Structures are given as C-alpha cells and as structure tokens.
Amino acid sequence: MINHVLTVRGRKASVTPRTLVQGTVGQDTLTLDLDSEWNGLNVTVTFVAATTEVTPVLNANVCEIPHEVLVDSGEVDVFVLGTRDGKAMRHASLAHKMVVKKSNMSDGSTTADPSISAYRQAYDDAVKATEAANSAAGAAGSAAVEMATLNKRYAAQIEQQATAFSTDQIQRANDFSTAQTQRANDFSTAQTQRASDFDSAMQGYENAFNEAEGERTAAETKRDEAEKKRGKAEEKRAQDSKTRLEELAQAKTNAETATGEANTARDEAKKAAKTATDAATSVDKSTAACNAATEAAKAVLPLGLCIANGRICQRIKKEVTND
C-alpha cells in the first residue's frame, strides 16, 4: 500500500509521491494535509482523469485513490473543495498533476467494483438499514414492524441527507467549474498581458537595433573618410621623403664638388704662396746685391755715378718685384 500526501499551503497544492501505476486496484491511498484555513469546512476531494471523474469518500482526510482513474496512463488532476452551508469557501488544485505510468501487466481493463462516492455510500447505508429492518420485522413480529418503521424513517432521513449531499455535490461542482473558469480567464488575461509586454519589448529591441545600425553606418563612413585621409597623408609623407632624399643627394653632390674645388684652390694657393716666397727670396737677394754694389760704388765712383747706379738698382728691384 502506497500513501500519497496532498499538502495544501496558502491555497497551493502539491502531492508526494506523484507517480501512480496503471491498472492497480486498492494499492494507493491519499492523505490530505491541510492548513488552518480549512478548519471547520466540509472537505471533498475529486480525481479527474482524461475520461472519468470520481469523488471518493473521505475518512479522517484519507481516501483510497479510485481505480477508475488508473485505467489509462497519463495525468490525473486532484481538486480539493471546502464548503460551509453549501457554499464553496476554499478550493485548491495541483500545480503539478499526478502521473499514471504505463504498466506492461495491464491491458487497460479492470474487474473491480466501481468506487463508492460519498452520496452513494449514504444511500447504500440507508438501503442496508431498510433491509435489516424488514428482516427483523419478519422474524420478530410487531416489534420488528415497529423497528422497521423506525428504520424506514431513518432510511428516509438518510435518503434525504443523500439527496441534500448530492445537491451539495452539484453545487460544489458548479463552484468548482466557476473557479476553474475564473482561473482560465485570469490565465488568458495574464497571457494577453505577457503577449503585449513581449510585443513592446520586441518593438524596443527593433528600435534599439535600428539606432545601433545607424550609428554603425555612420562610424563606417567616418572610418572610410579617416582611411582616405590616412592614405593621402601616407602619399604626401612618401613624396616628402623622396624629395628630402633627392635634396640630400644633391647637397652631398654639391658638398663633394665644393670640397674638390676647395682642395684645388688650396693646392693652387700653396703653389702661389711658394712662388711668392721664392720671388720674395729672389728680391731680397737682388736688393742686397744692389745695396752692396752701391756701397762699393760710393767708395770708388763719383757721386753722380753712384746716384745713377742707385737708380739702376731701383729699376732692377722694381722689375723683380713688379712694384
């Protein structure tokens, strides 16, 4: 026997364990663990499978899981309803449904008796009481007849209670349907809002993408312009470098030419200086000879001849020095 615990906290329901096995009968029970909001309420639990819906009898918040919902594999939802004076006060359903796992031993059929619902149980109890009263009447005479009368009255009360319970079940089903409809409407509204929010987000994304694309295009344009300017700058730098190299080569050539001319001029200056030095030496020698001759002539020649000789010496000096 496997016991499944359905816990309700803050109107949110969960069950542990969730797994059921297809085709099993009388092997699973469900225990309700409800919070304080459910205190004092008439609680029922309903199992809903793909093709059937069963509301079993609860005994101290424990019931057997109906085998009708275990015939086929798939999901089983569980709804809990709390009423007071025929009015639905609380309801809860599973966020994650129970799952019936496929069994290789089951062909989807069952020979078990149908699960007894709460109102059917009350009616059967009334019938049994009536049968017991009739039997007692046949065996015990008038006392049994009186007992049977009491039992019939009790059966009528039980039947009335069963009818009231059935009406209450219908009301609870209606309340449950209303609650489910409200949940569906709330879900639809939430989905619509989510769709609207998603459309807004997508529009914002598209606008941001278009802005980014425009900025990227502008950046590409600026990059192309900068690339063109860089190319022109590179061409100008190359041309300037070429011109500078040509100017340096020409300056080197001019410097070499000037150096050669300077060296030639220096050599010629040296030669001229040597020639001048040699000429000066020759003049000095000629002047000394003239002076010596003049002095010698003064001693032996008359004054007039000495003067004439002096003029000759002056003439010789002038011719030698080109003075």
User: Per the confidence metrics, is the pTM higher than 0.85?
Assistant: no
**Residue 43 confidence (pLDDT) above 60:** yes
Cα distances (Å, whole numbers) of residue 202 to 195, 198, 209, 212: 10, 6, 10, 15
**Rounded CA separation 255/243 (Å):** 18
pLDDT, tens digit, 9 for 90 and up, residues 221-265: 898 898 899 989 888 988 988 988 898 889 888 888 888 888 888
**Rounded CA separation 273/252 (Å):** 31
- Among the listed ranges 77-86, 100-109, 210-219, which one has the minimum average pLDDT value? 100-109
Encoding tokens for residue 116? 């007894």
Kind plus residue range of the DSSP H or E element containing 154? helix 142-300
Residues ≥6 apart with Cβ < 8 Å to 161:
122
Dihedral over Cα of 197, 200, 206, 211: its sign? negative
Encoding tokens for residue 140? 């015990």
pLDDT, tens digit, 9 for 90 and up, residues 253-279: 888 888 888 888 888 878 887 887 777
- Among the listed ranges 12-21, 270-279, 310-319, which one has the minimum average pLDDT value? 310-319
